[in-house]
Amino acid sequence: MEETTTIVMYPAPGIGHIISMVELAKLIIHHHHHQHFSITILLTTGLMDHPSIDSYINRISTSHPSIIFHRLPSITVNHTTTQSRAATAFHFIKSNTVNVQSKLRQITQTSVIKAFIIDLFCTSAMETASSMLIPVYYFFTSGAAVLSLYSYFPKIHTETTISFKDMVGVEIAAPGNAALSAVLMPEPVLDRDDPAYWDMLYFCEHLSKSKGIVVNTFRELEVLAVKVVEDGACFPDVEGSSPPPVYCIGPLIADAQQPGQFI
């Protein structure tokens, strides 16, 4: 049987992450409509599930038959009041790694996986795909300025032992960004006592290890931010390798939906 070609995508849980990844899938198909390939999107089960997600993916499957959705087996979420929602979500995604590995191996039995495109929060699946010699790319939906900040976060981490939430009056300087008050850093990295902080550190340390970073922006909008990522200024501690290429594909905006259709 002749092998087919596919791209596998892995968004974080939640309709917002799924829609973003689907929009990227639609863009890729639009620009490569003359080629025969499919896109498989892996969806977790057990966290942030909602009937609206099922109705959405059914609609996309009908209008874009080249986009195939696969639900990973359900995993029980044990959220406690002693940890943040971000920490719970990151633990849940990490628990799905074995299911992702199983599905990737299944797909490779009949298809050549040209790329594995992941959400930043799905970094735990990177090692599995890389060990299978599948090129791993990030899809970063927050723009180049946030990308440069997150890319530089591991460096910022080494320069202090205090949680950002306690650094009142202190400003953070990251390439490509204006000075930012430490207490206004993204919520998952505010508190070093939160497991989410260390998960974010792990995610951001792996940005430079990808084959490329797809960013929902356009170069003229964020000239400096894109440049510092491309030049490697945001990865000062990465030696002996070039920074990953940056692909600006924005603005990527979903079509308007009916009010109340999604959560």
Choosing from 91, 119, 194, 199, which is the catalytic residue? 119
Choosing from 17, 91, 157, 206, which is the catalytic residue? 17
* Whether the Cβ atoms of residue 217 and residue 250 lie closer than 8 Å to each other: yes
237 contact partners, CB below 8 Å, separation of at least 6? 154, 155, 158
Distance (Å, rounded) from C-alpha 58 to C-alpha 65?
Answer: 10
Q: Is 119 noted as a catalytic residue in this protein?
A: yes
What is the DSSP annotation of 45-62?
ESSS--HHHHHHHHHHHH
Q: Is 157 noted as a catalytic residue in this protein?
A: no
Q: Other C-beta atoms within 10 Å of 70: how many?
A: 13
Q: Other C-beta atoms within 10 Å of 82: how many?
A: 6
Residue 108's Cβ-count burial label (10 Å; 0-12, 13-18, 19+) is middle
Active site positions, annotated: 17, 119
